[in-house]
Every structure is written in structure tokens, then in C-alpha cells.
Amino acid sequence: MNIAMLGSGFIARFYADSLQAQRAKDNLVSVYSRNIEKAKKFADDYNLSFYSDNMDEVCSREDVDAVIISLPNNLHEAAVAACAKAKKHVLCTKPLGRNAAEAKRMLDLVEEAGIMGGYLEDLCYTPKYLKSLKSVKDGSIGKVLVAKSREAHPGPHSDWFWDHEQSGGGAIVDLGCHCIEIARGFIGKDVRPVEVMCWAATQVHPIKAEDNAIGLVKYANGAIGQFEVSWCFRGGMDLRDEVMGTEGTIWLNNFLRTGFEMFSTGKGGYIAEKAESSSGWLFPVGDEVHELGYTNMFTDMFNCIESKSDPMETFYDGYIVNAIIDAAYLSSKSGKWEPVQIDDWRGSDEANDGPATTSYDDTYYLIKKEILHSGEYKLILKHKVTGEVVVRDIKE
């Protein structure tokens, strides 16, 4: 498959490194940049046959099968429109839009053009996430009650992130999009997000947007998703997830403390994304491109283009994430739970079916079973009719 890259900056290079390192049958053939000198350098660095500062020219080339958008948020819609016009499959970096209305227009563009719209949510393709998601779907931890995700680091690498008009927001739209989709995957994409409560503040930087935020997303089945994001965290990039179910718990540490530690006096080079120091005890990442999910993500995307099927992350998913983010921003201003406005819900409409209770026998519910230091078991039970709570000591 021949691929065109729209953008020549930080994330474009991550994508290009992933593409050229893995599936050898996929070729990056051209690049667009608003700066022709940067386009030329990118083309030289990755040995591409064509570069241009004309987006339509790159998208419409006959030798291009698919286009990857790695541009600032305010340019996504125009780039998707160019791909739709050229009838080229399009893969767009996160977030899909600056808001849900923008995302919905992009979703409509790809569906009307009959092309695939892949949402490049890399953190939903990390090896640990994919393994955890399979465990959840296999029932290993029972019904998911709470899914938490945290991303925190010292702030973005490019100037446009810090410009509210270009980015659409701050840490929520930049990092919260990851965390929201991670939690949504664990809870179930078929479950409707209902409302959001969010706190957000600008605590450190002289910017219009928020640099810290915490939010709760309530789902129709009673589950709660939580996102915690910051552009003020010092010490690297912290990516952690936690999933609590009725039968188990999952903890994930994806990046900062993964078991690879190194001490250096500072004479080495690059350590890891968002690392703030090259001396002292450091926390490198073995294969950064793979550990951040890029390898699995592009394999899924291109396989689905070939098989004419939907990838794990689509433009529709990006639209739902933007709708949740919109509600988060409203809540951060109102201080209240705000409804998630979805114009085109395609999942289940089933409501909360109540607590995930466990029946002990015909008479009692099981509240808790515990083994004591003596080796005996204690049962705490609730009578199904009277509501009386009793304790029983048993031997097994």
C-alpha cells in the first residue's frame, strides 16, 4: 500500500518510523507540509519520491492509496475534505476534531465518499492495553465498574498545542482524548456515555486553556470512566490505567516505570518521549514505537483497508470522544454533571440493570467471602426478602 503523509513534524516522524520499520509491503511515498523546506527535509530523511506544500496535489496523486493526517487540530477537517474529494482512505491523528461538530462533519465526509476513516488512537493499540482488553472481554475481571486512565507530562512539543484556537483546548483535548477512549474500550463501546463531571484549571502556564483536569464519565450501565490529565507533571510521561471489575482488577503502567532503569552521568542521547533529563536514574523504553501502539495500530488500519472492514478505532469513535470532551468542558464551567450530546448514537440503548449482585443461595445474596489468618472462611450475607445482614463462619 502506498501512503501519503500530511504533516512533517513530531507525530509524522513517529508514524513514519513505525511504517518503515514494520510492514515492508507498505510504502510511504509522499509528504505534504505547509513549509516546503520541512517537506523536503522529511522527504530526504525518509527517501520519499515526492513532496509538496499543496495538500490537494499530494492527496490526488495516482500512486497514493491512503493518507495519514498528522497536522494540527485546526487543519484536520480541511485535510479530511481533501482526502474525501480524492476518494483516498484517510487515517487521522487524535483528536479527530476540536469539538464534536467538527468531528461529525469529518465522519460524514468519509462515509459519503465511501472511504475508510481510521482514528489513530495509538494508546488503544499498546501491547498491554490489547492484552488487558482481551482479558476484560473474556470475563476475567467480571463486569467493569470503574475504568481510570491517567496521562501526565511537562507539556506538548509544538507551539500550536498551546494556542487555544488552533488546538481547541488544553490538556483535556490533547491527553483526555486518549484516556476517555481507553476507559470507553474497557467499559464497552456499545455502552452509551451519559454525562460528565469535570474540574479543569490553568495552574502553571500563561495560556487560555487548562493545563490540569480530572473528569468522571457516567455510562448507561452504571460504570464510571475517569480521566486525569496534566501538562504540569515533572519527571517524564506518566501513562497509567486501572480497571476495577466485580471479579478482578487490572493495573497498567505503560511508559514511565516499566522495569527498565538506567543511571547515566548525562553523556548519552535521547532517552524517551517527554523525558526531562539525560542524567541520573532514567527510565528508557525498549521499543518506543511499539510500546506506544503505533505498530499494532497501522497493521490494523491497513489490514482493514485491504479486507474492506472497520478497524478497531474509527472516525465514529473519534466523534464519540469529542462529544464526551465537549461535555467535560461544559461541566468544568458549570460545576455540574453535563449530558453528552450525541446526534448519531449507534450502540445499545439499554439502561443500568442495577448492582451486579451475586446470589449465594435461594435465600441470601453474597456480600463478601474472606479467608481469615486462622484458615477459616467468613461469609457476609444479605437476606433477599428481609434485607438482614448476617455473618457465617465456615470451613472448606
How far apart (Å, rounded) are the C-alpha atoms in residues 299 and 91? 12
How far apart (Å, rounded) are the C-alpha atoms in residues 382 and 2? 63
Give ranges for CATH 3.30.360.10 in the chain.
Answer: 124-339
pLDDT for 300 equals 96
- Is 131 a residue whose pLDDT tops 90? yes
Residue type present at position 328: A
pLDDT tens column, 96-120: 999 999 999 999 999 999 999 999 9
Inter-axis angle of helices 315-334 and 177-187, to 10 degrees? Answer: 110
- Is 23 a residue whose pLDDT tops 60? no
| Cα 218 to chain centroid, rounded | 18
The residues pairing with 196 across neighbouring beta strands, listed in sequence order, are 217, 338
pLDDT for 278 equals 85
Percentage of the chain modeled with pLDDT above 70: 99
Indicate the pLDDT class of residue 329, thresholds 50, 70 and 90. very high
pLDDT tens column, 376-394: 889 999 999 999 999 998 8
Give the global pTM.
Answer: 0.91
Least confident interval from 27-36, 243-252, 282-291: 282-291
CATH number of 2-121: 3.40.50.720
Residue recorded with cell 535521547: 270
Indicate the pLDDT class of residue 274, thresholds 50, 70 and 90. confident
Backbone angles phi, psi at 334, to 5 degrees: -85, -25
Give ranges for CATH 3.40.50.720 in the chain.
Answer: 2-121
pLDDT for 88 equals 98
CATH number of 124-339: 3.30.360.10
